Amino acid sequence: MLLFTVRVVCALGLAVLAGCSLVPAYHRPGAPLAQSFDGAAGGSLAATVPVRSGWWREYHDPALDALVDRSLRNNFTLASAIASVEQARGNAEQAGAPQYPSLSLGASFDRSHQGRGSTTKTQSLFAEASYEVDFWGFNAANAGAADLLARASGFDRDTVALTLTASVTDMYFQVQSLRRRLAIARSISDDAARILQLLLAQQRAGVATELQVQQQRNALATFQAAVPALQQQLDTDIHALAVLAGSAPEHFTVSDATLADIPIPQPRPNLPASLLETRPDIRSQEAQLQSANQSVGAARAAFLPNIVLTADGGLGSKSLSHFLSSPFASLATSLAAPILDGGALRGQLHASRAAEAKGVADYRQAVISALQDVEDSLTAAQQQQLAEVADQDAADAARKAAALAQTQYKLGTVDFLTVLDAQRTLYQSEDTLVQARLARLQASVSLFRAFGGGFGVTDGSSAPSSMASSS
C-alpha cells in the first residue's frame, strides 16, 4: 500500500508540465579591466615563478614551510571558516528539500469504553505523501540561491587561508628582521661602551675632555635604549605567530634564519582578467551576486499560484483478530494563489532586486580593489628593490667611514665628533638595510597574495590541497 501511494504521487508529478524558471538570465557584470598591469610593463618573465598553492615554498626555508603548514592545520579562524562552509552546505541541503516529495509514516491505537464493560479497540498504520509542483521554479530558485551561498562560503574559506599564509610568512620575516636589528643594536652598543672606556682612560690621562665623555655617554644610552624597544617588538611578533599557528604564546619558539640568505622570488604577473578566476574574494562576491539573482527569481515566482499533490494510504481495523485488514487511501490536489498580503510579496521582490544591485556594486568594487592591490604590490616590489641597492651602498660606505674615523681618531688626525657621527651613521645605515630587505620580502609576499596565492583556483566544493589535513 505504501509503495502504491508513492507511485501515485510520482505519477501525478510527472504528469504535470515541466515548470518554467522566472530567474533572470545571469551575466557577469562588466568591470574596468586593462590589457596588462602598469607595474608589469617591460618586465622580464624569465626569472618569475607561477602563483600556485604552496607559494611560500618558493622562499626555500624549511622552517617557514613547517610553520605555515602548522598554521593551516591548527589556526582557529581557519577552522571556523571551514565549519562555516559545512554549515552553508547544510543550509543548502535544507533549502533544496522542497524540490522532492515528502513521505511520513504513522500508526495509532485507540481503546475506548462504552458502558457495561464494552470496549472498542481501533488500530491503524498509515502513510502520507506530498509533493509541491514547482511549476514556476520557486523552490529551485531558493535551492540555487542557497547552493551559491555555500559556494561563496567556500571562497571565503580560501580567502581566510590565503590571508593566514601571507600573515604567517610576513610575520616570520619580520621576526628574523627584528632579530638582526637587535643584534646590530647590541653590537653598536658594545662598540659605544668600548669607546666610552677608552675616553675615560684618555680623560684620566688628560687627553680627552669631559664634554667628549658626556657626548659618548649620551650616544651609548641612545643605542642601549633601542635594545628593549626592539626586544619588545620581537616578543610581540613571536606571540602573534603563536596565535596564528593556533598555539599559546608561552614557550613558543621560531627558528633562526639569516634574512639576507632568503631568496626573493618574483611572482609571475598574470593578466588583469585572470584575477576574476584566481582571487577568492572576487569569486565569493560573484557567487553572492548569483545567489541574489536566484532570489529575484524566487521572489517573482512567489506571486504565482502553487500546486500541492497529497496522498494518504494505510491499513486499519477495529479488532485485533483482523489487525490492519482494511485498506484505505485518498488523493488530493490543492491550488493556492496569493490575493491580498499587505504588500509583503512586492516588498520581498523589491528587496531582492536591491540585493542584486548591491551585489553588482560589491563585485565591481572587489575587482577594482584587487587591481589596485596588484598595482600597489608591483610598485612596492620594484621600488623596494631599488631602495635596497641604495641602502646596501650606504651601509658599505658607512662601515668604511666608521673604521677610518676610529683609526684616524687614535692617530689624532680627526676630532671625537667625527667618530661619534660615523658611529651613528653606521648604526642607522645597517638598521635601514635590514628593514629594506624585509620590505622586499614582504612586497613579494604581497604579490603572491594579490594574485590569489593559488587558493582561488577551486570549484568551491573542496578545500585546497594544502588545507586537506585541516578540514
C-beta separation of 324 from 315 below 8 A: yes
Using the 8-state DSSP alphabet, how is residue 269 labeled? -
pLDDT of residue 42: 64
**Cell 626569472 identifies what position?**
47
Which of 70-74, 84-88, 302-306 is the least confident region?
A: 302-306
C-beta separation of 145 from 22 below 8 A: no
- How confident is residue 406, by pLDDT bands cut at 50, 70 and 90? confident
pLDDT of residue 467: 45
Phi, psi of 255, deg, nearest 5: -65, 150
pLDDT of residue 131: 81
Roughly how many angstroms between the first and final C-alpha of the chain, as a whole number? 45
pLDDT of residue 119: 67
**More confidently predicted of 187 and 127:** 187
Q: How far apart are CA 411 and CA 406, in angstroms?
A: 9
Q: How far apart are CA 280 and CA 458, in angstroms?
A: 9
**More confidently predicted of 198 and 45:** 198
Which of 21-35, 61-75, 412-426 is the least confident region?
A: 412-426
Task: Provide the sign of the torsion angle of the four alpha carbons 439, 441, 444, 445, taken in this order.
Answer: negative
Which of 139-153, 165-179, 199-213, 323-337 is the least confident region?
A: 323-337
Give per-residue pLDDT as tens, 418-467: 888 888 898 999 999 999 999 999 999 999 999 998 875 444 443 444 44
3-state helix, strand, coil in the chain (%, to 5): 65, 10, 25
**More confidently predicted of 303 and 43:** 303
pLDDT of residue 3: 45
- Report the residue count for the chain: 471
CA-wise closest residue to 13 among 298, 308, 256: 308
Q: How far apart are CA 326 and CA 323, in angstroms?
A: 8
Residue 238 has pLDDT above 80, yes or no: yes
Average pLDDT, the chain: 84
* Mean pLDDT in residue range 368-386: 93
Residue 336's DSSP bridge partners are 306
- What is the SS3 assignment for 119? strand
246 CB-side CA count, 13 A = 17
Q: How far apart are CA 471 and CA 458, in angstroms?
A: 15
Work out the percent of the chain whose per-residue pLDDT is above 70: 85
* Mean pLDDT in residue range 237-262: 93
* Mean pLDDT in residue range 279-300: 93
Residue 77 has pLDDT above 70, yes or no: yes
Using the 8-state DSSP alphabet, how is residue 268 labeled? -
* Mean pLDDT in residue range 58-75: 94
pLDDT of residue 420: 82
* Mean pLDDT in residue range 184-206: 88
Distances (CA, A) of 267 to 65, 382, 397: 18, 12, 32
* Mean pLDDT in residue range 274-302: 92
CA-wise closest residue to 75 among 224, 197, 245, 208: 245
- How confident is residue 7, by pLDDT bands cut at 50, 70 and 90? very low
Distances (CA, A) of 186 to 9, 37, 183, 193, 356: 84, 44, 5, 10, 59
Q: How far apart are CA 269 and CA 163, in angstroms?
A: 19
* Mean pLDDT in residue range 326-348: 76
Q: Residue 82 is placed in which grid cell? A: 571551514
* Mean pLDDT in residue range 190-195: 86
pLDDT of residue 387: 94
pLDDT of residue 114: 63
Task: Return the axis-axis angle of helices 76-96 and 138-204, rounded to nearest 10°.
Answer: 170
Distances (CA, A) of 155 to 52, 76, 211, 235: 16, 17, 66, 33
Which of 21-25, 328-332, 337-341 is the least confident region?
A: 328-332
C-beta separation of 166 from 449 below 8 A: yes
Residue 194 has pLDDT above 80, yes or no: yes
Distances (CA, A) of 281 to 457, 464, 470: 12, 15, 21
C-beta separation of 423 from 192 below 8 A: yes
The one-letter code for the residue type at 432 is T
Work out the number of other CB atoms within 10 angstroms of the CB of residue 276: 18
As a whole number of Å, the CA-based R_g of the chain is 36
**What is the pTM (predicted TM-score) of this model?**
0.83
Q: How far apart are CA 441 and CA 223, in angstroms?
A: 27
* Mean pLDDT in residue range 148-176: 95
Task: Provide the sign of the torsion angle of the four alpha carbons 418, 423, 426, 428, taken in this order.
Answer: negative
Residue 161 has pLDDT above 90, yes or no: yes
Distances (CA, A) of 165 to 56, 159, 160, 322: 8, 10, 9, 71
**More confidently predicted of 459 and 295:** 295
pLDDT of residue 59: 95
Q: How far apart are CA 428 and CA 444, in angstroms?
A: 25
Give per-residue pLDDT as tens, 95-117: 888 888 888 887 777 766 665 65
Q: Where are the alpha helices (DSSP H) in 34-61?
A: none
Residue 297 neighbours by CB under 8 Å, 6+ apart? 21, 22, 23, 24, 137, 141
- What is the SS3 assignment for 431? helix
- How confident is residue 241, by pLDDT bands cut at 50, 70 and 90? very high
Report all structural domains of the chain as residue ranges with CATH numbers, in order of start: 20-101+138-305+344-470 (1.20.1600.10)
**More confidently predicted of 321 and 289:** 289
pLDDT of residue 192: 86
- How confident is residue 118, by pLDDT bands cut at 50, 70 and 90? low
Using the 8-state DSSP alphabet, how is residue 105 labeled? E
